[in-house]
Structure 1
Amino acid sequence: MAQLTPREAPDEDLEPPPDIFDAQSLDLEFWLKPRTIQLIRPASGEKAKLLYWKDGELIDSAYQELCYLLRDVNGKETAPIDPKLLETLWGAQAFVARYGIESPVEILSGYRTKSSNNKLIEQGIPAARQSLHMEGKAADIRIANLNEEVLGGLVRSFRQGGVGFYYRSGPRGGWIHADTGLKRTWKG
């Protein structure tokens, strides 16, 4: 069974988080409230906390900044990011915040140019030739205090697209791939 991997002791007043989160337990009110997302790009050191959705609409200035943050940091190019992907990232962060886990979403990879994607393949790094990263529909992410199994299980419970589990040992651990393509799962 998947376990949380806490890096700090939770507040004693909080109910302990479950081993597996299930977004299907959310009520409609959760999805109607304003959305503020906190992101960090370890590759560039950039951080942002942005209100990007309110009253049923994307806030264009915040959306543009999110597209920039999810850019190809190697190819230095920006592309439109699928708003459904932002919804998935925000949903995961907002859902675990209910259990006292208030960590930014680490963006390891967002949009990728074809050239950057091909370089990864040439280096033997997991990357699909027709990657949804190249369409702005995928991100490789982590959230501190959640292992890959728990975070991936939560994202999969949104039923919004594909989820890849990339298990790695070490202090940085693994990550998950989340996309807005067909519903599927895999391990890499």
Structure 2
Amino acid sequence: MTEIASNLFSRRSLLRVFAATAVVAAPSYSNAFGLLKGAGDIRRIRMYSGRTGESIDTIYWIEGNYIPEVMKEINHFMRDWRTGDVKSMDPRNVDIMAAAHRLMDLSEPYMLLSGYRSPKTNAMLRSQSGGVAKNSLHLVGQAADLRLKSRSVNQMAKAASACAAGGVGRYSRSDFVHMDCGAVRSWGA
């Protein structure tokens, strides 16, 4: 852990983070990140990729600002693992993922199934499945497909929906939840 990150974990900062877990999300998009606005001085994301074997557990936002170097690490982590292509991920989507994670009150990292998708990968997946959108938000770095061992698809989807900040898709048969920062909507069972 870096010196900056270890200094952030003062008793006061930790108390603010824990207190923020009880905050309820605001109902409109302009206030969609209410869960995180009261979260104190830091925002954190935890994920691992079964595809690449990589993991990330990082603070990406401190005192009102995204950390550019860390966002680059997140972009690389969420790259199209099939092609190696990297896209700048929309920080709003990382915020939704972090807020949903905080609502579920767990330390288990998300398993990232799909972040950015290149047009080539998206076309290949569309040819194999009817559930892949032609103009997927994965193509523009605004979506992620995630799984947790300790939470059901419904639990994850409810937490993401509580953020009222984007699309939430339930894929129960495939055991994952799609989260994006597009229009507020939901689908799947």
TM-score, normalising length: structure 1: 0.79
1:15 is aligned to none
CA distance in 1, matches of 2:171, 2:47: 20
Counterpart of 1:122 in structure 2: which amino acid? Answer: S
CA distance in 2, matches of 1:161, 1:141: 15
Instruction: Trace 1:21-36 onto structure 2 (pairs within 5 A).
Output: 23-24=24-25, 30-36=38-44
Which of 92, 106, 109 is equivalent to 2:100? 92
TM-superposed CA distance for 1:123, in Å, is 1.3
Counterpart of 1:153 in structure 2: which amino acid? Answer: K
2:147 is aligned to 142
2:83 matches 1:75: yes
2:117 matches 1:109: no
| DSSP-derived class of the 2:147 partner | strand
2:182 matches 1:181: yes
TM-score, normalising length: structure 2: 0.79
Task: Deviation per CA, 1:45-64: give whole Å up to 9, x if none.
Answer: 10111111001000111110
Instruction: Trace 1:151-170 onto structure 2 (pairs within 5 A).
Output: 151-168=156-173
Counterpart of 1:55 in structure 2: which amino acid? Answer: E
Gaps of 5+ in 1: 1-20
Q: CA contact under 8 A between 1:22 and 1:154: conserved in structure 2? A: no
TM-superposed CA distance for 1:96, in Å, is 2.0
2:131 matches 1:131: no
Counterpart of 2:181 in structure 1: which amino acid? Answer: T
TM-superposed CA distance for 1:22, in Å, is 8.9
TM-superposed CA distance for 1:179, in Å, is 0.5
2:68 matches 1:57: no
Q: CA contact under 8 A between 2:24 and 2:35: conserved in structure 1? A: no
2:51 matches 1:43: yes
Gaps of 5+ in 2: 1-21, 27-33
TM-superposed CA distance for 1:151, in Å, is 0.4
CA distance in 1, matches of 2:74, 2:37: 24
Q: CA contact under 8 A between 2:166 and 2:184: conserved in structure 1? A: yes
